[in-house]
Amino acid sequence: MADAFRERSDGGVELACSPEWEVSNFVSHGHDSWSALLAPGPPVRVLRAEHGSTCASLAAADTELSAAGRISVDQVKAATHLLPMEHPELVRLELERAVETR
């Protein structure tokens, strides 16, 4: 995290790289998340940040996902897209629950 941010003159922090560079990292990957979610499999619980989330709400997602009945999206109050760092205990508990129910 120390290398990912730099201090601004107003006392805040910002990304050390340009926003365009950060976006290019996510756009260039070869993962097909929608196909993976639509494939048969175990239940999936998505934790969605309340502010600045990179995850669409289930209502805005492909209707096949909600029809599948195995996808749930829960919004975490006061969280941002850095949810795993802001709420590590919640994320840890959800990962443990997922492993136990596999």
| Selected residue with higher pLDDT from 26 and 99 | 99
Full-model pTM? 0.65
Is 68 strand, coil or helix?
Answer: helix
- Phi and psi at residue 46, in whole multiples of 5°? -105, 130
pLDDT computed for residue 67 by the predictor: 54
Classified as helix, coil or strand, 14 is strand
32-56 residue pLDDT tens: 777 777 788 888 888 889 998 877 6
Q: How buried is 59 (Cβ within 10 angstroms: 0-12 exposed, 13-18 middle, 19+ buried)? A: exposed
